[in-house]
């Protein structure tokens, strides 16, 4: 009996997944909705009678699980990079010139795809079974949203093996989105239920994937298109065109509206075609993504910071609206820079109400001839901060007023200065309350100490009340003080103190970011943390040593050196350490690794593995993978057709390894 039931269940599941594939991936449905529903109900009925035969990859298990309390973090094996932007044909041609120059060719084949306005995710399949799913996050670490991703019907729970061999490991990247019609239907239903409508499809997709209750996700019509991979084992993929051919055979949906282009002019033609038909697309698209087709060529091109040199996003013109500029106010940032902000008569653009926009600096206002009272064109693209594209002087009445940058800080009254080499006006008073509040916000932000339960209003209370006058004061807050604050009860106080206590142990990289060193973002902070053994070594580093590091130029090196030479900066660090903050030592795994601290640079194509896979093996042994040769490099690994890095290594006296020698080195230490 059980054997026959098992066979029937397997047959039903196979049929349902086949029809899912025909409907979602190749758009060739064979069944009506009613016929499909009948198959599905039959499977549900049999599984209800035999719950012991239900498996995680059954089509019936997409309905969503019980609510989760939070999302765990997942580290991506290979970073999910973001793309640089081009905003017109000239920008795309500039990109092409850089690519062809670096590869030493006159023309190259690109694959151009649509850039959807959704949320990037990674799906991980082991032996064909979906085992992990996460958001892009910061590119290195994302949120575990597997339970929600499993509810999306266009994501196979198990890869197909009918037309292509199933890889033993496949990390596939894609964009989760909602189509315009489904978005409109959902908003009509919300309005009927007297609920506020969603602002735009992207916010809906992002918010839906982050629902703690996966059953909410299951009730919304999300879709996915896949376009990239991370680690792959068991099959070989050599180009983007080949990737887009293979993924559908495995049951993974790709956007059919892509084009293989011989040279950049064909790419520009594709850009224009999509821009002209943009409104007719069934989903929101804010541009195209242009990728070098050959994976071997991509390895040669490499990456810069968090963006690949082999791809670029061709962005469409931003959505615009027309409104009145009511006033210009000035905000003071943590570095003392004064930023003019436009106060607008509210205007809706792409479903979002815009009531303010940044004006950057006085030069920007003068260049665009923007006046208080003007009718202005406001521009918004995706989640980018709205900006004023231009004023409309032809509509002036004569009542408009010129903006004048204040000569004193609007918060502390200190004299405002403008350095000749900068566009910004600055308040140089380091004790300015506005500057300090922004510094505190940065210090406790998600990229810094990540203190939950502390926002701008609470920080304003603490600073304005004289309770917190230094960063170290945050770590010395006590229960009685917090309970005495407005709208702050015992439970809130206990929660905040617990969050502050857990934040006192922090990695060096996060601490460096939290300090707000000029020009040092999260990426540069991690780079510094990886290079220097401890904080003391970094503090003592000279400007020349800092400038020698990859990705740190002379200006950044000067800013970092100046920061640590400043007596107030050093005192701030001492006070924080005295208040109980401790810096986490490098992980035991990294310290104990046989290649700990040794820097490897790869050049040319490897035959036994990709350069990314080779890099992961180096990192697993505590080594460091760099993209350029410097005096701190220990080894340069030579693949086929090595580039100029090999010559630089010879000039610098760096050890050169063939691929065989590199593999022997790994095997002797693993």
Q: Give the Cα separation of 603 and 337 in Å (integer).
A: 42
With 0-12 / 13-18 / 19 or more C-beta atoms within 10 angstroms meaning exposed / middle / buried, residue 110 is buried
Q: What does DSSP say about strands 505-507 and 582-584: parallel, antiparallel, or unpaired?
A: parallel
- Mark out the alpha helices in 63-156 (DSSP H runs): 89-103, 146-149
DSSP for 602-651 reads EESB-SSS-HHHHHHHHHHTT-EEESS--TT--EEEE-BS--HHHHHHHH
Q: Give the Cα separation of 167 and 165 in Å (integer).
A: 6
Residue 416 and residue 410 in contact, taking contact as beta carbons nearer than 8 Å: no
Element (DSSP H or E) covering residue 233: strand 222-233
Report the SS3 class of residue 653: coil
Dihedral over Cα of 593, 595, 597, 603: its sign:
negative
φ and ψ at residue 584, rounded to 5 degrees: -70, 135
φ and ψ at residue 604, rounded to 5 degrees: 85, 175
* E strands in 316-470: 319-332, 337-349, 352-358, 375-380, 387-391, 416-418, 425-427
What are 74's strand-pairing partners? 142
Report the SS3 class of residue 485: coil
φ and ψ at residue 555, rounded to 5 degrees: -65, -45
Q: Which of 11, 49, 75, 115 is catalytic?
A: 115
Catalytic-residue membership of 504 = no
With 0-12 / 13-18 / 19 or more C-beta atoms within 10 angstroms meaning exposed / middle / buried, residue 82 is middle
Q: Give the Cα separation of 221 and 322 in Å (integer).
A: 33
What are 418's strand-pairing partners? 425
Q: What does DSSP say about strands 222-233 and 169-178: parallel, antiparallel, or unpaired?
A: antiparallel
Q: What does DSSP say about strands 129-135 and 119-126: parallel, antiparallel, or unpaired?
A: antiparallel
Element (DSSP H or E) covering residue 287: strand 285-292
Report the SS3 class of residue 584: strand
Contacts for 544 with CB less than 8 Å, ≥ 6 apart = 557
Distance of CA 545 to the CA centre of its chain: 30
Show the tokens assigned to 324: 């009145």
Residue 541 and residue 529 in contact, taking contact as beta carbons nearer than 8 Å: no
Show the tokens assigned to 645: 């890095």
What are 144's strand-pairing partners? 134
Distances (CA, A) of 327 to 366, 400, 402, 404, 484: 15, 10, 10, 12, 37
Residue 633: HSE in the Cβ half-sphere, 13 Å Cα cutoff: 28
CA angle 28, 30, 31 (to 5 degrees): 130
- Mark out the alpha helices in 21-55 (DSSP H runs): 33-49
Show the tokens assigned to 531: 């290079």
Residues designated catalytic: 115
């Amino acid at each position: 009996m059980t054997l026959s039931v098992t066979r029937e269940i397997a047959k039903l599941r196979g049929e349902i997944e086949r029809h899912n594939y025909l409907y979602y991936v190749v758009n060739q449905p064979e069944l009506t909705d009613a016929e499909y529903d009948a198959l599905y109900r039959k499977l549900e009925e049999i599984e209800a009678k035999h719950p012991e035969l239900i498996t995680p990859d059954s089509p019936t298990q997409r309905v969503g699980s019980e609510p989760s309390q939070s999302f765990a973090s997942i580290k991506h094996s290979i970073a999910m990079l973001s793309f640089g932007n081009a905003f017109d044909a000239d920008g795309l041609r500039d990109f092409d010139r850089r690519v062809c120059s670096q590869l030493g060719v006159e023309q190259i084949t690109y694959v151009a795809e649509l850039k959807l306005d959704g949320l990037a995710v990674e799906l991980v399949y082991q032996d064909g079974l979906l085992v992990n799913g996460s958001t892009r996050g910061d590119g290195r670490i994302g949120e575990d949203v597997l339970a929600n991703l499993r509810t999306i019907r266009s994501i196979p729970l198990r890869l197909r093996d009918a037309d292509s061999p199933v890889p033993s490991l496949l990390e596939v990247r894609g964009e989760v989105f909602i189509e315009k019609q489904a978005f409109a239907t959902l908003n009509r239903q919300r309005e009927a239920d007297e609920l506020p409508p969603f602002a735009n499809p992207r916010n809906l997709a992002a918010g839906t994937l982050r629902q703690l209750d996966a059953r909410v996700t299951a009730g919304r019509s999300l879709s996915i298109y896949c376009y990239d991979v991370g680690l792959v084992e068991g099959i070989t993929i050599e180009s983007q065109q080949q990737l887009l051919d293979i993924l559908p055979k495995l049951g993974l949906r790709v956007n059919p509206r892509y084009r293989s282009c011989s040279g950049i002019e064909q790419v520009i033609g594709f850009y224009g075609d999509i821009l002209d038909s943009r409104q007719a697309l069934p989903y929101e698209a804010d541009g195209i993504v242009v990728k070098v087709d050959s994976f071997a060529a991509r390895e040669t091109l490499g990456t810069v910071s968090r963006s690949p040199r082999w791809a670029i996003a061709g962005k469409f013109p931003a959505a615009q609206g027309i409104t009145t500029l009511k006033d210009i106010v000035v905000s003071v940032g943590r570095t003392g820079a004064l930023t003019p902000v436009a106060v607008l008569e509210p205007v809706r653009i792409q479903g979002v109400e815009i009531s303010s926009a940044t004006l950057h600096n006085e030069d920007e206002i003068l260049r665009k001839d923007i006046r208080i009272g003007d009718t202005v064109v406001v521009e918004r693209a995706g989640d980018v901060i709205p900006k004023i594209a231009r004023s409309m002087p032809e509509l002036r009445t004569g009542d408009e007023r010129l903006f004048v940058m204040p000569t004193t800080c609007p918060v502390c009254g200190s004299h405002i200065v403008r350095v000749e080499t900068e566009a910004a006006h600055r308040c140089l008073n380091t004790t300015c309350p506005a500057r300090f509040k922004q510094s505190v916000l940065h210090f406790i932000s998600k990229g810094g100490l990540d203190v939950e339960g502390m926002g701008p209003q609470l920080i304003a209370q603490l600073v304005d009340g004289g309770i917190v006058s230094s960063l170290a004061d945050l770590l010395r807050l006590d229960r009685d003080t917090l309970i005495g604050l407005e709208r702050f009860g015992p439970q809130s106080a206990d929660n905040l103190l617990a969050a502050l206590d857990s934040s006192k142990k922090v990695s060096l990289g996060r601490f460096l970011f939290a300090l707000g060193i000029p020009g040092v973002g999260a990426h540069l902070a991690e780079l510094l943390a990886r290079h220097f053994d401890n904080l003391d070594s970094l503090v003592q580093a000279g400007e020349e040593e800092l400038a020698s590091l990859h990705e740190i130029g002379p200006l950044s090196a000067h800013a970092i050196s100046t920061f640590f030479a400043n007596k107030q900066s050093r005192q701030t660090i001492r006070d924080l350490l005295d208040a109980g903050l401790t810096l986490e030592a490098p992980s035991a795994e990294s310290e104990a690794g046989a290649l700990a601290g040794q820097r490897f640079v790869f050049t040319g194509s490897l035959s036994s593995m990709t350069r990314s896979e080779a890099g992961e093996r180096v990192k697993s042994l505590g080594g460091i993978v760099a993209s350029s040769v410097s005096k701190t490099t220990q080894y340069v690994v030579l693949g086929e057709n090595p580039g100029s890095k090999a010559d630089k290594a010879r000039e610098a006296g760096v050890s050169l390894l063939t691929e065989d020698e590199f593999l022997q080195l790994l095997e002797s230490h693993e």
